[in-house]
Amino acid sequence: MTAGTRLCTWLNGKLVGTDEFGNRYYTERREPVGRKARRWVIYQGEAEASKVPAEWHAWLHYTTEQPIAADVQGAKPWMRPHVPNLTGTADAYLPPGDDRRGGRRERSASDYESWRP
């Protein structure tokens, strides 16, 4: 977070809430005339947009007026906990055939075969 963002948040921001990752969500203190109040997030640690859970994403993008409480949302058996984007980390998904997994994969029926006359 830059000094300008910190100063702007301190002067104009009203804390709305935090999520399980420690991110803090703000809106403007004074209700603006002729437009919606701005909403923003101050990330805990590295600024990574995929750290924003779905309930806060909906609020940030004006889909909901109030943030959706995770317990009110009602966890379904098929729902998984939110996981930030792991691309570029040791836990990133590597498909079969990726060079970092040895570069080999099983043949498939849809593999390309060159035409031979």
Q: How confident is the model at residue 26 (pLDDT cuts 50, 70, 90)?
A: very high
Q: How far out from the chain centre does Cα 26 lie?
A: 16
Residue 108 identity: S
Which of residues 113 and 36 earns the better pLDDT score? 36
Average pLDDT in the 1-20 region?
Answer: 83
Which pLDDT score, from 0 to 100, does residue 73 have?
Answer: 55
Give the H/E segment covering residue 56: helix 54-60
Q: How confident is the model at residue 24 (pLDDT cuts 50, 70, 90)?
A: very high
Do residues 60 and 43 make contact, with C-beta atoms less than 8 angstroms apart?
no
C-alpha to C-alpha distance for 39 and 5, rounded to whole angstroms? 13
Residue 59 reports pLDDT greater than 60: yes
Which pLDDT score, from 0 to 100, does residue 61 have?
Answer: 92
**pTM, rounded to two decimals:** 0.66
Average pLDDT in the 11-26 region?
Answer: 88
